[in-house]
């Protein structure tokens, strides 16, 4: 493969918000690493960007130069949702072999016994974690990428490369749902029908939430949610309406107040809506990422014992995500709306950032 395709095409941005398709160095795997030829790499389509809305995606990095404390100060390779095939292995690699199909888990914690987060199994909280595409670490949006064997997940034949790349956002949803304490038959609201809201919908449907309402500003996204899970009830949020008025629409669609709200926008007004839609003792579980400081309907939440909790990435979700997809409980394929080659990186990013393209997931493929 390497003699036929020597170029390591990579997609990078920089502090000037340029998007460059470059020929990167071909990396050599270390003793514990594998060289992976990436076959499907996906990045976020983010057509709905508003100043209030801080999606954690490649388009966001390109357009705004950073997220929170992660600021782009030099060239940065994008991408952290990938799958591919192992083409070379380091001398200590025993579990994987050349030809294995794998999904890449892109947060690499230090794994030292002196690290409390790693030792206690909460490795997403490791202070020394390296996350590919989070500055200054280059992302995986490149043809060839070296990855530690320990953080490569073997894909069964029943899972395509395309689905393998989507295990990353599914991991976010699984981590959130597990910590949210969702139970069979819980009336659930999902705020936001972007990719994270949609994978949360698929996972909550598989987990037995009932009934389920999903919200969005965009009717196309709600229509797609309905195609994914026909029993979901949709509510189109009115941008200028008061959060209480939007919550009333949600409660009417749900037929009751929500036991659980999974918030997938990070937008302040949407979090308010979620709080107002919750029952006494309910919870608002915030996966969305938003403004550094936000107001809350403090006394409403206090007088109704509404828990407000948060999720940061994921831990130990890939094996379960693989099972859910391979056993047919979750079908990720309809989420991919646009496909390009690596060489078409610029066109792909243009499509992802153009609302008229109505993209949900944009993937770059390499045969």
Whole-angstrom distance, CA of residue 267 vs CA of residue 284 = 13
Q: Are 119 and 285 in contact (CB under 8 A)?
A: no
Q: Please spell the DSSP secondary structure of 5-34, one letter per residue.
A: ---EEEEEE-TT--EEEEEE--PPP-TTEE
Would you say 29 or 266 has its CB closer to ligand NAD? 266
Q: Min. distance of Cβ 320 from ligand NAD in angstroms?
A: 16
- Does 266 bind ligand NAD (CB under 6 A)? Our answer is yes
Binds ligand NAD by CB under 6 A, chosen from 82, 83, 133, 215:
215
Binds ligand NAD by CB under 6 A, chosen from 145, 147, 221, 259:
221
Partners of 310 in the β-ladder: 286
Phi and psi at 40, nearest 5°, equal: -135, 125
Would you say 29 or 192 has its CB closer to ligand NAD? 192
Range list of H helices, 58-208: 58-64, 116-119, 161-165, 167-180, 195-206
Q: Min. distance of Cβ 245 from ligand NAD in angstroms?
A: 12
Instruction: Sort 126 into a burial class: Cβ within 10 Å, 0-12 / 13-18 / 19+.
Output: buried
The piece of 84-92, 125-133, 180-188, 307-315 that touches ligand NAD (CB under 6 A) is 307-315
- Does 270 bind ligand NAD (CB under 6 A)? Our answer is yes
Ranges within 34-93 binding ligand NAD (CB under 6 A): 44, 46, 48, 53-57
Q: Are 38 and 144 in contact (CB under 8 A)?
A: yes
Whole-angstrom distance, CA of residue 90 vs CA of residue 30 = 5
Ranges within 122-181 binding ligand NAD (CB under 6 A): 172
- Does 191 bind ligand NAD (CB under 6 A)? Our answer is yes
- Residue span 85-124 as binding mask against ligand NAD, x where in contact by CB under 6 A, dash where not: ----------------------------------------
Q: Are 300 and 275 in contact (CB under 8 A)?
A: yes
- Does 264 bind ligand NAD (CB under 6 A)? Our answer is yes
Would you say 93 or 177 has its CB closer to ligand NAD? 177
Binds ligand NAD by CB under 6 A, chosen from 170, 287, 301, 351:
287
Binds ligand NAD by CB under 6 A, chosen from 11, 193, 212, 322:
193
- Does 192 bind ligand NAD (CB under 6 A)? Our answer is yes
Q: Min. distance of Cβ 164 from ligand NAD in angstroms?
A: 17
Phi and psi at 300, nearest 5°, equal: -60, -45
Would you say 71 or 217 has its CB closer to ligand NAD? 217
Best CA proximity match to 101, nearest among 151, 146, 157: 157
Cα Rg of the chain, angstroms: 20
Would you say 249 or 324 has its CB closer to ligand NAD? 249
Whole-angstrom distance, CA of residue 331 vs CA of residue 205 = 11
Q: Are 250 and 277 in contact (CB under 8 A)?
A: yes
The residues that touch ligand NAD, with contacts defined as CB under 6 A, are: 44, 46, 48, 53-57, 172, 191-197, 215-218, 221, 237, 264-267, 269-270, 287-289, 311-313
């Amino acid at each position: 493969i390497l003699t036929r395709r020597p170029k390591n095409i990579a997609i990078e941005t920089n502090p000037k918000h340029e998007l460059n398709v470059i020929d990167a160095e071909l990396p050599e795997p270390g003793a514990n690493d594998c060289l992976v030829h990436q076959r499907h790499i996906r990045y976020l389509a983010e057509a709905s960007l508003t100043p209030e809305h801080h999606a954690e995606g490649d388009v966001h990095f390109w357009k705004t130069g950073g997220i929170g404390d992660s600021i782009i100060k030099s060239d940065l390779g994008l991408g952290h949702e990938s799958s591919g095939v192992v083409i070379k292995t380091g001398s200590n690699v025993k579990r994987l072999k050349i030809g294995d199909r794998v999904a890449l888990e892109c947060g690499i914690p230090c794994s030292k016994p002196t690290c409390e987060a790693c030792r206690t199994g909460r490795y997403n909280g490791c202070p020394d974690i390296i996350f590919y595409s989070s500055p200054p670490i280059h992302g995986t949006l490149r043809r060839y990428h070296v990855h530690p064997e320990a953080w490569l997940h073997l894909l069964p034949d029943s899972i395509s490369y395309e689905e393998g790349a989507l295990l990353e956002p599914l991991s976010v949803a699984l981590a959130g749902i597990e910590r949210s304490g969702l139970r069979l038959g819980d009336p659930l609201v999902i705020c936001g029908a972007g990719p994270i809201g949609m994978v949360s919908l698929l996972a909550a449907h598989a987990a037995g939430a009932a009934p389920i309402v999903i919200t969005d500003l965009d009717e196309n996204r709600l229509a797609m949610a309905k195609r994914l899970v026909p029993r979901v009830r949709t509510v189109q949020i009115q941008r200028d309406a008061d959060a209480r008025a939007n919550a009333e629409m949600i409660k009417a669609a749900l037929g009751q107040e929500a036991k659980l709200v999974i918030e997938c926008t990070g937008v302040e007004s949407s979090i308010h809506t979620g709080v107002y839609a919750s029952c006494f003792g309910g919870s608002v579980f915030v996966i969305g990422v938003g403004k550094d400081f936000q107001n809350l309907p403090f006394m409403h939440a206090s007088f109704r014992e509404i828990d407000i909790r948060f999720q940061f990435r994921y831990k130990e979700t890939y094996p379960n995500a693989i099972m859910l997809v391979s056993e047919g409980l979750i079908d990720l394929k309809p989420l991919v709306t646009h496909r390009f080659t690596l060489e078409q990186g610029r066109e792909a990013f243009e499509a992802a950032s153009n609302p008229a393209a109505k993209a949900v997931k944009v993937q770059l493929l390499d045969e």
